[in-house]
Chain A
Amino acid sequence: DTGVSQDPRHKITKRGQNVTFRCDPISEHNRLYWYRQTLGQGPEFLTYFQNEAQLEKSRLLSDRFSAERPKGSFSTLEIQRTEQGDSAMYLCASSPEDRETQYFGPGTRLLVL
């Protein structure tokens, strides 16, 4: 399977704990995106990388959230001191440099108790 992959698929944590999610984009896609989706809503943009550079960040990305893409391949999204309001599906997408089409992974569903 050469699509976008995300790990883990599900995560249950207690309020106040830190969590980290991983995204592996489609091979050779140099653009990588993170979105958050709550039940019944469309995905909301969080941040965007071109290669290893983080070029855009949404106001939704509070200081408890940090994303990295150190080698321009996989990316991690960390949430520190999780809150119940962080419960959502976290989606990763990638796109090639010459196209705007974003291809999404299966998502990581986070539940904060």
Chain B
Amino acid sequence: GESVGLHLPTLSVQEGDNSIINCAYSNSASDYFIWYKQESGKGPQFIIDIRSNMDKRQGQRVTVLLNKTVKHLSLQIAATQPGDSAVYFCAENNGSARQLTFGSGTQLTVLP
């Protein structure tokens, strides 16, 4: 079936470096994408979202890039900080349904 998935299950970066977390999706009908951060024992926290009519969106220290040609989504975190250590999920919504379909997540570890 169609699903959202992540390329790498774990990512370790040095504090201060930039992080890039990747996500592949297969549902060509998806028109809304969202990134969440989840710390241990907590619910997912909204980071940034993007609609399919855009290819880039920036927030505070974060940028989401969408490449519809290859069905790829990425989250860039600038100047990664220890507080950024968490599991990051991408999710998609195909518009007709209200449910979000999540990938399995990437564990980001920030090294001192």
Contacts and interface: CB of A to CB of B under 8 A. Distances in A.
Interface residues on A, range: 20 to 34
A28 interface: no
Interface residues on B, range: 20 to 34
Interface stretch (A11-19, A42-50, A66-74, A77-85): A42-50
Given A100-B93, A101-B46, A104-B44, A45 B36 contact: no
Nearest to B31: A100
Contact of B99 (A58, A103, A104, A107): A58
B25 interface: no
B43 interface: yes
B43 A56 contact: no
B89 A45 contact: no
B43 A91 contact: yes
Contacts, number: 59
B97 interface: yes
Contacts of A33: 98-100
Contacts of B103: 42
B105 A42 contact: yes
Kindly name the residue among A31, A48, A100 whose own CB sees the greatest number of chain B CB atoms within 10 A: A100
A40 B104 CA distance: 7
Contacts of A55: 98
B45 A48 contact: no
A10 to B, nearest CB: 10
A105 interface: yes
3 closest pairs, A vs B, by CB? A42-B102, A45-B99, A104-B43
Interface of A: 4, 6, 31, 33, 35, 40-45, 48, 50, 55-56, 58, 91, 100-107, 109
6 contacts: A42-B103, A45-B100, A91-B44, A102-B46, A102-B100, A107-B43
